[in-house]
Each structure stands twice: as structure tokens, then as C-alpha cells.
Chain A
Amino acid sequence: MISFIIRRVLQSVLVLLVVGLVAFSMFRFVGDPIDNMLGQERTIEDIERLRTQLGLDQPFVVQYYKFLEGAVQGNFGVSYRQGRPVAEIIIERAPATLELAAVSGVLAILLGIALGVFTAIRRNGFAANFIMSASLIGVSLPTFLIGILLIYLFSVELGWLPSFGRGEVVDLGWWSTGFLTESGLKALILPSITLGLYQMTLIMRLVRSEMLEVLRQDYIRFARARGLKDRALYFRHALKNTMVPVITVIGLQLGAIIAFAIITETVFQWPGVGLLFINAIQFVDIPVMAAYLMLISVMFVAINLIVDLLYLAIDPRLRIGR
């Protein structure tokens, strides 16, 4: 077990280093930050001076090395756009994204599994068919369109929910939460639906097909013959056996929810790291882009590790031979 974890951590570090290298080799294709930083009245002299000052005239490998050197000491540099330390900005923005991701993740998992089981059990019912058809909307409509549609319906036409922002937040130490105020909770509804809809339909469809597969197996038939109650049959025996592939997908999708909250955050002006990243790209704010990409890859690597460990917990067969 321990050696498994150590091996995985070492692999992860390698992955991170490669991600960083690829990221730095691509930054120059995003554009040149100098013009954004200097404003309209810059001279050619200024451009050269700032470029040298920031080390942007160096090859990207050198820039990457300098970044790593700072990063291991906990210094991610200063944002070109805001002129503040990157670490401070990301810590300030992280709670917004994590809360949004948590709510949409929980929503997607609970509703996804429940609806998946329901549509598997009542395979030919009217409600199940309706849910299956409606779920096509979730997989086929792009996120920004869903967000805009929700805003026009619930904010502009009905006036029930806010169209942008996080509402009032309460500071708990360095963490700012929207869970403790009415406006904060209201503000969470539309973005979390927008963000979680795709994941929900994905989980639902996956659970449904896995469940149908399992329900055809002999042991279910025998369990039924033994006279087990439907509830025990579906939830204790069938659902548990559908969960291994579902957990892999949920794990990866949780990472995706955090990493790709970018679009939802832009539509709802949600002040999280996704919006920060979009602004960073437009400005070519290299320190922020680098730190964000590293953070996201750390997160994906960690989620994968946790998923692997969860397999071991759920499926005893995988423990043999380790």
C-alpha cells in the first residue's frame, strides 16, 4: 500500500514537471504581455527595458526554470495584470470556485445516481423516457448558452435569482463563504446548475447503463428468487456493483468541474479562479497562468490518486497481489 502510494506520488511529480514545460513552451503563442502592461504611450525603449526586466527575452526553458525556482520556495511571482503576488490572488479566489464546484458536484452526483437508478429500474416508464430525452439537452447544449438561458428566464423575466456575482459573503478567516447568507445561497443556484448539468446527465446515463448490465446478471436473478426485497436488491447488491466505473468518471469529472468552471464563471461573473484565468489569458499574465495550470494539474493528479485508492476500498479483488 505504502509503496503503491510512493510510486504514484513520484509519477505525479514527473507529470507536473512535464505539464509545466509544455505550458511554458506555449505561453509565447498566447501573445505578448508588454503592450498590456505599458499602455498606449509606451516607446520602443520602454518595451525593450520591460522585456529584459521581466526576463521575457530569455528562452522559455530559462523562464520555466526561474518559475520552478520561485515556486519551490512558495513564491509564484507577481501578477502582470494586478501587480499583486499570485499566491495571494489565487488564495483569495479559490473559495468561490471550490464552493461552486462542491455544490454542483454534490448536485450532479446525487441527482445523477438517483435518476440513473430510477431510469434503469423503470426502463420503459413514461417518466424515465422523458428524463432520458430531456437529459439530451444537458449533454448537447453548450454551457454558456444554458447559463444565458437561465439568466434570461430566472433573472430578467421572473426576477427571482441574481444574474451575476456571489451575493453577500461571510469571511471565516481567509475563507470567504456564500453559504451563510440568503443572497449568497441564491447566487449559487443558477451557476451550480449550469456547471453541474453536463456532469449530472453524464453520471445518470452511465449509472443507468451499468445498472441495466448488472441487473441482467445471474446473481441478481438468484437474489430475486431468494425473495430479497426490491430495495435491498437494487441498492445493496446492484448499485454497489455498478459503482467502480462510475467512481472513476465522478473523480475525473470533479476535476473537470473545478478546472472548467471557467465558462460558467465568465457568464455569471463568478469571482473564482476560472474568471481569473480567463483574464490572465487575455492579458497574457504569465505568472497567473503558470500558477493556475500547475495548481490544476496538482489537483487532477491528486484526484486520480484518490480514485485509485477508492477502488481498493470498494472492490476487494483489486487488493490481491499488492
Chain B
Amino acid sequence: MRSTTTLLSAALLLSTTALANAETLRWARAGDALTLDPHAQNEGPTSALAHQIMEPLVMRDMTGAIVPALATEWGPSADDPNVWVFKLREGVTFHDGAAFTSEDVKFSLDRAMTEDSDYKELLASVVEVRAPDDMTVEIVTDGPNPIMPNNLTNMFIMDKDWAEANNATKVQDYEGGEDTFAAKNANGTGPYSLVSREPDVRTVLTINENYWGIEEFPMDVTEIIYTPIQNAATRVAALLSGEVDFIQDVPVQDLARVGDADGLDVRTAPQNRVIFFGMNMGADDLANDSVEGANPLADVRVRKAMSMAINRDAIQQVVMRGQSAPAGMISPPFVNGWNAEMDGSSTTDIEGAKALMAEAGYGDGFSIQLDCPNDRYINDEAICQAAVGMLGQIGVTVNLNAQPKAQHFPLIANLETDFYMLGWGVPTYDSEYIFNFLVHGRSDKYGSWNGTGFDNAELNDKIVSLASNTDLEARNADINAIWQVVQDEQLYIPIHHQVLNWGMKSGVQTVVAPDDTAKFKYFEMN
């Protein structure tokens, strides 16, 4: 009898210690991952969930620095500047127990380069992926590629045999009507493995006890329950009522409420996203303006005047309630090529702006339409409304056209807008990414987000050459020269850098990652 009691109490004691160590983190954000297929959607919430389950060769930690993940060492090959060599981590297994080898890396990168992959642009320079031995991978590019590792931080590695066994070698294609197995199932090497998933409802992850980094990282969170909560007020209410422990996307008007609540904290950091206006300077005549037969935006003095009319401090204080940093260039501060002088160069000078307008021959002003999204960036429509008033001061009468993102962004793609708002994040943390999409003239491969009509052949060549310039010093000098042109031409009107807000229970310890991606292996709980 006595021994039974002892056994029982021992068992009880054991179970309570196990409970004390088990920390469940209930996580909510506005949107769910669209798929678990690691190459189908290059989108924030999708790669944020994938980062818990799967790993790339190299990744960014919570501060944005590149750290080893499945590769331990990497560098350009000594023999051939067109080859990057990655040494893989030894002794890593997938969640189903299969060993991780170079074959899996080759398979995954090849898969990410197929037509239906959302990641193929980041690997556009890759000619071939080779696996000379089990623990080495060589990536061959069409020319030297100095920033190859930057492009790989969201390039997740799948198990080749698992994908082949489950008929998931192809990325989701929409025509087939087939369900891709990888869209709802995942087998990665990451710190957490998938327990259950109902898309848009609930996803449960549990700690991977065999994770290679289980000693290296805090790994305090042992279970993650992820629920998307779309409505911002409900999301905040769920945190206030203690139903969730950690939320992303706290609306700026609720920050004080969450921060003042007992047992809750708000943590804030600058986000990797800059908000700005673009102007169609390339057209001979604008579609929705009052000037006939000429394009006022083609005159750099008009563009400069419009930038000078924007009072960025007022937008920061009134529209954003302090939750933004005024910008002078269209690059987030983390990015290679950003410099404080250019970013601080925006000034508000109504009189100077009026003088410039008069000099350009538009002293009486003109009217123009501003296209603006209303469900994409923080307070996007309110920023546009503020800009309407500010531009009115220098005689530019702005008609605001605010609409959902699904209607707004096609305007830029189809070059149907004269004056528009856009936000830009830089996943590679390098200016080349900005130039490729926003500064290079519109062509099949480049400039797909450049709605300004700006197309400078000399500058285009310079941008393309950045991709293969391995002399980092010369490359940075080129980047700076390109930025100088962008600034002088006032290609865009920068507004501000967005600020990220995460709300959490006081016991949760983390820094806010600039890419808005929470990597829970770094979280500490106390």
C-alpha cells in the first residue's frame, strides 16, 4: 500500500515538473499563412509560420543579422567566383527522422526555381545547384553574385524523399485542381513540428525534441497555438482578456490601452518598410490632371516642390500617433546603401515650394488624382488625406482615390496611375533589390513596380551590374551614386518608415524583428 502511495506521489511530482517546463504560447495575428508549401507564396505570414517548422541554409535572427541555420559555413569558391559553397550542418534530421543531406538542398532550390514558385526571382541568377558530397552544396550563378546569402534567408529546405513519396515535387499550380500535399503538411528540420492545422482557424505546433539547436537557443516555448484574428478590435480584446499571449499588428490607437493594462507589454521597433508616393513623370500628358498637353510631374522642380510641401512631422504626430519615423529616402534603415544624411534630407518649406512651382510655370497650381490603398499599410488612407491638405497649400489640388489593395496595386502594374502611394520592404537588406524593382526602367524582368515612367539607360546598366560586382567597395560606391540620382531626380516622395508593434503577456521576452517575423526559438518565457 505504502509503495503505491510513494509511486503515486512520485508520478504526481513528475507530472507537475513537466507541466512547469511546458510553456504554451497562444499567438494571434491578422492573417493566416496561405499555405505550408514553402515555395508557393512569398508573403509575410506564410514564411513566418514556415520559419517555425522549416529552415533555410542561412537565416536572419530577431535583430535582422544573418546567422547560420542549415549551413554552418559559406563563401564564394576560391577557384571560381561564380560559385558559392555552403557547408551543411552535420547530424540534422527532419521531423520524420530522415537525415538531412545536400540532396535535399539541391531538390529544394531546384523546386524553388520552377515556374510556379514565388521565390524564383530571388534565384534568377542561379544556373545550377550541385551537391558534390553529402555535406556540401555549390550554387553556380551566371556571374559573380556578391549577395547570394541574402537571397536565401527565406528559402526553406524540404526533404526530397518525403516530397517524392507524397507527390509534392511540384509547387502548387492552380490549373490542375489538385491538392498539393505540401500545402497542408510539412516535414522540416525546424525547432517546431506540426501537430494539426486548420487553415484560417488554428494551427498547433510542438517542440522538436531532436532539434539541432535545442541547447543553443532558449526554446522556452514548447507549444505554439496560432490563431489568425482578422478584426483588430477582437485581436486586442483577446489579448486583454488573456485568451492569447502574443499578438502582432496592434492598431496604433490601441497601443496605450494594451501598454497600460496590467500584465501586458507593447514592444516597438522600426519596421523594414518605407512608405512613399510615386509620380508618373514619363507620360507626355497625365490622365487625371488639369494641365492639357503637358505633364507637370515631368519637371523636377514640381516634384521637389511637392516633396517640400509634405510635413512629415505632422503626419508622424497626428496620423501615426508617433508610430513612424519620417523618411528622406525610400530605403529602410537596415538596408545596405541607406545613409543617415539622405534619410534626414526631407524638409518642409511651403514658401520655397511655392517659389519652385512658380519657376516651373505652375504658380497657379494644377489638379491631380492621388491613388491610395485603404487596407494595406498602417493608416494608409489617413496619410493620403493629410497629404491632400498639405499639397493644397502650394496650389496642387489633389483628388483622393482610396480603394482596396486588390484594386490599387494593379494601377501601378498597368501604369494607370499618375500619383500613387506605395510601401516597400527589402527582404535582402540590400539596395539592389530596391533599384531592381523601383528605379530600373520598366522591362520584362526589371522595374515591375516602377510606375514613374523613369527610364535611364545608363542608370539601368549600373543597376544590372550591381548583381555581379564582387568588389564590395566599388559596389557600394555604385549604390551610393544611384541613390544620388534617385534623390536629385526626386523620383519618389518618401513619407516615413513604419514602426512595428507587438503586444504580449509580460512574461514573454523578445525583441521585435524588423521583418515582422517572430521566430519562437528565440523567445524566453518567465
- Contacts from A to B (Cβ < 8 Å): 29-45, 47, 49, 53-54, 75, 77-78, 80-85, 88-89, 92, 148, 151-152, 155-156, 159, 162-166, 266-269, 271, 275-276, 278-279, 282-284
Chain B minimum-CB-distance residue to A162: B243
Asked if A148 and B442 make an inter-chain contact with CB atoms under 8 angstroms apart, the answer reads no
- A279 to B201 alpha-carbon distance, docked (Å): 13
Return chain B residues, CB-CB under 8 Å to A37.
41, 174
- A49 to B115 alpha-carbon distance, docked (Å): 10
Asked if A53 and B174 make an inter-chain contact with CB atoms under 8 angstroms apart, the answer reads yes
Q: Is B360 an interface residue (CB 8 A)?
A: no
A-B contact pairs, 6 of them (CB 8 A): A37-B174, A40-B42, A40-B449, A47-B413, A85-B177, A151-B237
- A75 to B449 alpha-carbon distance, docked (Å): 35
Asked if B445 and A83 make an inter-chain contact with CB atoms under 8 angstroms apart, the answer reads no
Q: A43-B445, A82-B34 are in contact. Are A152 and B121 (CB under 8 A)?
A: no
Asked if B174 and A31 make an inter-chain contact with CB atoms under 8 angstroms apart, the answer reads no
Asked if B227 and A164 make an inter-chain contact with CB atoms under 8 angstroms apart, the answer reads yes
Return chain A residues, CB-CB under 8 Å to B375.
282
Query: Which segment of B179-187, B294-302, B324-332, B496-504 sits at the interface?
Result: B179-187
Apart from A35-B409, A164-B235, list 7 A-B contacts with CB within 8 A.
Answer: A35-B410, A77-B177, A83-B172, A155-B238, A165-B201, A166-B201, A269-B234
Asked if B410 and A32 make an inter-chain contact with CB atoms under 8 angstroms apart, the answer reads yes
- A39 to B90 alpha-carbon distance, docked (Å): 34
Q: How many residue pairs between the two chains, A and B, have CB atoms under 8 Å in the bound complex? A: 152
Chain B nearest CB from A231 CB (Å) reads 45
- Interface residue from A29, A40, A159 paired with B241 (Cβ < 8 Å): A159
> Lowest 7 CB-CB distances: which A-B pairs, in order?
A31-B406, A39-B42, A32-B410, A41-B121, A83-B172, A31-B407, A271-B201
- Interface residue from B41, B241, B446 paired with A155 (Cβ < 8 Å): B241
Chain B nearest CB from A286 CB (Å) reads 11
Chain A minimum-CB-distance residue to B447: A44
Asked if B184 and A269 make an inter-chain contact with CB atoms under 8 angstroms apart, the answer reads no
Q: Is B514 an interface residue (CB 8 A)?
A: no
Chain A nearest CB from B413 CB (Å) reads 6
- A78 to B41 alpha-carbon distance, docked (Å): 15
Q: Is B242 an interface residue (CB 8 A)?
A: yes
Chain B minimum-CB-distance residue to A93: B200
- A296 to B233 alpha-carbon distance, docked (Å): 28
Chain A minimum-CB-distance residue to B229: A269
Asked if A84 and B179 make an inter-chain contact with CB atoms under 8 angstroms apart, the answer reads yes
Chain B minimum-CB-distance residue to A144: B231
Q: Is B230 an interface residue (CB 8 A)?
A: yes
Return chain B residues, CB-CB under 8 Å to A282.
375, 404-406
Asked if A78 and B413 make an inter-chain contact with CB atoms under 8 angstroms apart, the answer reads no
Chain A minimum-CB-distance residue to B183: A83
Main SS of the interface on chain B? loop
In this complex, how many residues of chain B approach chain A with their Cβ under 8 Å: the count is: 58
Asked if B404 and A267 make an inter-chain contact with CB atoms under 8 angstroms apart, the answer reads no
Asked if B231 and A43 make an inter-chain contact with CB atoms under 8 angstroms apart, the answer reads no
Asked if B406 and A35 make an inter-chain contact with CB atoms under 8 angstroms apart, the answer reads yes
Asked if A31 and B34 make an inter-chain contact with CB atoms under 8 angstroms apart, the answer reads no
Q: Is B364 an interface residue (CB 8 A)?
A: no
Chain B minimum-CB-distance residue to A55: B175
Asked if B240 and A269 make an inter-chain contact with CB atoms under 8 angstroms apart, the answer reads no
Asked if B122 and A41 make an inter-chain contact with CB atoms under 8 angstroms apart, the answer reads yes
- A266 to B31 alpha-carbon distance, docked (Å): 12
Return chain A residues, CB-CB under 8 Å to B121.
41-43
- A92 to B200 alpha-carbon distance, docked (Å): 11
Asked if A275 and B198 make an inter-chain contact with CB atoms under 8 angstroms apart, the answer reads no
Asked if A275 and B406 make an inter-chain contact with CB atoms under 8 angstroms apart, the answer reads no
Return chain B residues, CB-CB under 8 Å to A268.
234
- A159 to B237 alpha-carbon distance, docked (Å): 11
Q: Is B228 an interface residue (CB 8 A)?
A: yes
Return chain B residues, CB-CB under 8 Å to A152.
237
Most chain B beta carbons < 10 A, residue from A33, A148, A151: A151
Asked if A81 and B237 make an inter-chain contact with CB atoms under 8 angstroms apart, the answer reads no
Q: A31-B404, A42-B448, A83-B34 are in contact. Are A53 and B175 (CB under 8 A)?
A: yes
Contacts of B440-482 to chain A: CB distance below 8 A: 442-446, 448-449
Return chain A residues, CB-CB under 8 Å to B307.
none
Chain A minimum-CB-distance residue to B228: A269
Asked if B443 and A44 make an inter-chain contact with CB atoms under 8 angstroms apart, the answer reads yes
Return chain A residues, CB-CB under 8 Å to B444.
43-45
Return chain A residues, CB-CB under 8 Å to B201.
165-166, 271
Chain A minimum-CB-distance residue to B182: A83
Asked if A159 and B234 make an inter-chain contact with CB atoms under 8 angstroms apart, the answer reads no
Q: Is B199 an interface residue (CB 8 A)?
A: yes
Chain A nearest CB from B312 CB (Å) reads 24
Return chain A residues, CB-CB under 8 Å to B425.
40
Return chain B residues, CB-CB under 8 Å to A43.
121, 444-446, 448
Q: Is B80 an interface residue (CB 8 A)?
A: no
Chain A nearest CB from B27 CB (Å) reads 13
